[in-house]
């Protein structure tokens, strides 16, 4: 088994594009390294390996086992230096840091005025691009130079620096509070999903109100507002206030629209805002607007302002294909999904090191739902089992619960009755353990448990009874959560009317578009 440092080096080398590998070779040539250099030999060997093989490296190079750790560390550092010099990675934050390094060199050379002039210039750049933590760091460095040397730069220089530092300090503190709150809410959402009871909703509301610092919106800039909107967005998602989700995701995108120069600096945040807007529209079931925003997102991904790097490529896949699946659910288009699923599986494999397991499992749930909607129940079970059998996964408990519910229904639809009783018992125990046994789930399990006792002549009447029972929960603030994952109502209607579920959902979508 490889250790972490080996994994890191191997992953870094494998992530290099052909142009980045050429850049590294040129960089090595510029620093005067000969072809027999140990770290260069190591680079060439690992570049050709599909899996890290230490024994082969020791056999094929002049590196001893005792030297290998140091050579790997040196190679890792040299690759990072080479990447930093690559124009493709010369983004605004990197450029600001580079200018700060130059200013420090000037300071050490005793060229204080030149250093201060450069620092003032780069500080303006940092503020323009909302890099306020770095701007504060620059201010502190300016204060050190001004306090040590009589530069006579300008009158009242001390007062100006102090005022700037106090202003930035306040903004950095409030941003830190907003970001802490946003991160904590996101962690809660990943753990449990949506609020399951009135008690949970009250608890989240109390935590949110206690943690939200006092602020005046007029005093906040782009960065502060962005973190504030993110906090409100996660609060709204957890409490299932999807209209509020829509409002805050729109505010998020409007911030970027008002500051277009920041899209290329924070492309990930810009893409996330678009994704959360789509999520909100999905849960609000606004099909027409969803399609429009999804098309805009596809066009945005081709915009030169969005950097073409590994990180944005992985996130672009995640957001684009997740929402392509959502659109199919909204329109009831479950058929002919094989090509889409094939693309998703290939990209999951391609980006496996950059996408966390939680998001991969969400894809599997959606694919399972897609096959279920098309009546391909065995394929649906295959993908749902990937989630159910994942014993080490720490993710949204609600998704784990509904994977089991859908798995039960898919087994019934597939005619796999001999598994049903065992599955019902294990699902019931799991839901009790997760504290997630609500009325919708109770009714579903009760119905499935008694299915073997119901004669074929009575089955349609039983479907009608279950439909009437569940219909009352469709607008319930916490029971409706079940319908966010599985459109049980449409499934029951398809059984009652003896029509495909896709046809039922498609009709509902057309009525929504006409405003009926």
82 & 122 share domain: no
Please check whether residue 441 lies inside any domain of the structure. no
Structural Rg of the chain based on CA atoms: 28
81 & 20 share domain: yes
Question: What are φ and ψ of residue 396, in 5° steps?
Answer: -55, 120
Q: Is 85 a residue whose pLDDT tops 90?
A: no
Q: Which domain holds residue 36?
A: 4-89
Structure confidence at residue 516 (pLDDT)? 43
Instruction: Tell me how long the chain is.
Output: 516
**End-of-domain residue from the set 64, 89, 114:** 89
Please check whether residue 62 lies inside any domain of the structure. yes
Please check whether residue 54 lies inside any domain of the structure. yes
| Sign of CA pseudo-dihedral 277, 278, 282, 288 | positive
Convert 54-72 to b/e letters by CB count within 10 Å (16 or more is b). eeebeeebebeeeebeebb
29 & 85 share domain: yes
Please check whether residue 369 lies inside any domain of the structure. no
Percent of the chain with pLDDT over 70: 91
> What is the spatial distance between Cα 128 and Cα 188, in angstroms, rounded to a whole number?
34
118 & 74 share domain: no
Split into its structural domains, the chain has a count of: 2
Find, among 320, 285, 205, the residue nearest to 490 by Cα: 285
124 & 102 share domain: yes
> What is the spatial distance between Cα 327 and Cα 165, in angstroms, rounded to a whole number?
48
Please check whether residue 12 lies inside any domain of the structure. yes
Q: Is 2 a residue whose pLDDT tops 80?
A: no
Please check whether residue 158 lies inside any domain of the structure. no
Structure confidence at residue 55 (pLDDT)? 86
Please check whether residue 396 lies inside any domain of the structure. no
Please check whether residue 384 lies inside any domain of the structure. no
**End-of-domain residue from the set 102, 125, 153:** 153
**End-of-domain residue from the set 104, 130, 153:** 153
Find, among 127, 250, 228, the residue nearest to 180 by Cα: 228
- 422-434 pLDDT, tens digit per residue, is 887 887 777 777 6
Find, among 37, 97, 44, the residue nearest to 62 by Cα: 37
Most confident segment among 146-160, 269-283, 308-322, 397-411: 269-283
């Amino acid at each position: 088994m490889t250790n972490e440092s080996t994994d890191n080096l191997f992953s870094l080398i494998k992530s290099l594009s052909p142009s980045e590998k050429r850049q590294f070779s040129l960089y090595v040539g510029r620093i005067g390294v000969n072809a027999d250099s140990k770290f260069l030999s190591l680079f060439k060997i690992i570049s050709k390996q599909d899996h890290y093989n230490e024994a082969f490296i020791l056999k094929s190079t002049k590196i001893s086992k005792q030297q290998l750790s140091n050579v790997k560390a040196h190679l890792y550092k040299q690759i990072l230096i080479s990447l930093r010099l690559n124009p493709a990675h010369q983004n605004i934050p990197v450029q600001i840091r580079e200018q700060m390094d130059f200013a420090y060199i000037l300071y050490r050379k005793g060229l204080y005025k030149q250093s201060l002039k450069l620092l003032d210039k780069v500080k303006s750049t940092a503020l323009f691009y909302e890099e306020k933590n770095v701007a504060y760091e620059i201010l502190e460095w300016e204060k050190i130079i001004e306090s040590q040397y009589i530069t006579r730069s300008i009158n009242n220089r001390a007062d100006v620096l102090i005022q700037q530092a106090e202003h930035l300090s306040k903004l950095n503190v409030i941003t830190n509070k907003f970001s802490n709150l946003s991160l904590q809410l996101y962690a809660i959402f990943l753990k449990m999903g949506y609020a399951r009871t009135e008690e949970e909703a009250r608890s989240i509301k109390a935590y949110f109100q206690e943690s939200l610092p006092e602020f005046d919106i007029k005093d906040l800039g782009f960065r502060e507002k962005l973190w504030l909107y993110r906090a409100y967005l996660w609060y709204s998602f957890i409490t299932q206030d999807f209209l509020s989700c829509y409002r805050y995701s729109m505010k998020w995108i409007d911030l970027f629209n008002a500051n277009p120069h920041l899209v290329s600096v924070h492309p990930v945040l810009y893409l996330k805002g678009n994704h959360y807007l789509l999520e909100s529209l999905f849960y609000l079931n606004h099909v027409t607007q969803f399609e429009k925003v999804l098309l805009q997102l596809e066009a945005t991904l081709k915009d030169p302002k969005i950097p073409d790097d590994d990180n944005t490529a992985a996130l672009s896949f995640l957001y684009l294909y997740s929402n392509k699946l959502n659109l199919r659910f909204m329109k009831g288009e479950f058929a002919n999904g094989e090509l889409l699923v094939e693309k998703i599986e290939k990209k999951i494999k391609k980006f496996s090191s950059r996408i966390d397991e939680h998001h991969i499992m969400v894809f599997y749930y959606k694919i399972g739902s897609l096959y279920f909607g098309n009546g391909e129940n065995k394929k649906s079970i295959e993908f749902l089992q990937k989630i159910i059998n994942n014993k080490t996964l720490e993710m949204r408990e609600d998704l784990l619960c509904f994977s089991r519910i859908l798995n039960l229904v898919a087994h019934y639809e597939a005619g796999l009755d001999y598994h049903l009783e065992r599955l019902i018992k294990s699902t019931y125990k799991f839901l009790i353990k997760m504290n997630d046994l609500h009325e919708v789930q109770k009714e579903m399990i009760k119905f499935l448990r008694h299915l073997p006792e119901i004669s074929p002549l009575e089955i349609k009447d039983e479907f009608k009874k279950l439909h009437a029972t569940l219909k009352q929960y469709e607008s319930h603030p916490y029971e409706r959560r079940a319908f966010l994952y599985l459109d049980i109502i449409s499934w029951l209607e398809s059984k009652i009317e003896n029509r495909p579920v896709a046809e039922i959902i498609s009709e509902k979508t057309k009525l929504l578009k006409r405003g009926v």
